[in-house]
Each structure stands twice: as C-alpha cells, then as structure tokens.
Structure 1
Amino acid sequence: MPRMQPVESSSIEAVGFEPTRNELTVRFVGGGTYVYGMVPRSVFDDLLAAESKGRFVNQRIKPRYPFRKA
C-alpha cells in the first residue's frame, strides 16, 4: 500500500498513489479502503486540488476506473 496522506473531507480520510502501478488508494471515513487501477498521476493531483474530495471521487474516479477492496 502506498504512503497515505490525510485529506480534508467529510467522507475521505486519506489517499495514496502508487506511480509504478498507477493505483490510487482511498480510505473512506466509514473504514473501507479501495484501490482504483489505471489512474493517471494527473488525476491524483486533481483529486488533491479538488475543493470537494468526495464529489471528485464520486464523479471522476468511481465511474471510470476499475477497483478492488484493499
């Protein structure tokens, strides 16, 4: 698992990115952790810059990238 960094969000506790595999890891406040594959670094950077991290994940990550529970 990549190094996780906390984010300001009511629904997301922390995120991490593994550049060698283009995997985004998201740990939700409810406790679930998911790994999204084939995510470009630029999308991870956009997530970190997003005003609403939860909305970004719901609109730009979940519908577009395959995932598995970590």
Structure 2
Amino acid sequence: MNLIPIISSDLSEVGYNPSTQQLEIVFNSGGVYLYSDVTSDEYQGLMNASSKGRYFHASIIHHPYVRIN
C-alpha cells in the first residue's frame, strides 16, 4: 500500500486500498495500524478534513483494526 505523508498532530502517513477497503495509518507516536471496512467516502472525508486527527477519532476509530507495527 502506498502511504501518503499528511500534516496532522496525530497522524503521520495514510494509505488506502479501495478494493479491500483497508486503511493504513502511521501515527506520529510510531504505531502503525490497519483498519478494515473503511469506505472510500470515509477515506476521502479523512483526506479532506481540516483536522485529520479529529476526523479519525469521530469516524475511523470504531472500525476493526490490527496493529502491524
């Protein structure tokens, strides 16, 4: 998955695979998580949000996830 650097106080990089609906997030703290069942609309909402951390906590955090690093 290609990761895109973003400007956020919480998140460092984001990658999305629309065919599997998986969202990979690298946090500034160093953790890397893979979220499942994330729709394209939710991903676009994250990328367009003025506060990506706030959007993540409101819309993405409830999805199933695994820590991959």
Q: TM-score, normalised by structure 2?
A: 0.94
> Which of these residues, 25, 47, 66, is aligned with residue 64 of structure 2?
66
Aligned length: 68
How far apart are 1:19 and its partner, in Å? 1.2
> Does the alignment pair 1:38 with 2:25?
no
Sequence identity of aligned pairs in percent? Answer: 31
| Inter-partner Cα distance in structure 2 for 1:56 and 1:33 | 17
Task: Provide Cα deviations, 1:1-59, integer angstroms capped at 9, x if missing partner.
Answer: x1000111011000000111100011000000101001101110110000101111111
Once superposed, what is the RMSD of the aligned Cα atoms?
A: 0.7
- 2:56: which partner in 1? 57
The runs of 4+ residues in structure 1 deviating greater than 6 Å are: none
| Inter-partner Cα distance in structure 2 for 1:12 and 1:39 | 17
Structure 2 residue matching 1:39: 3-state secondary structure? coil
Where do 5+ consecutive residues of structure 2 fail to align? none
Where do 5+ consecutive residues of structure 1 fail to align? none
| Inter-partner Cα distance in structure 2 for 1:33 and 1:54 | 15
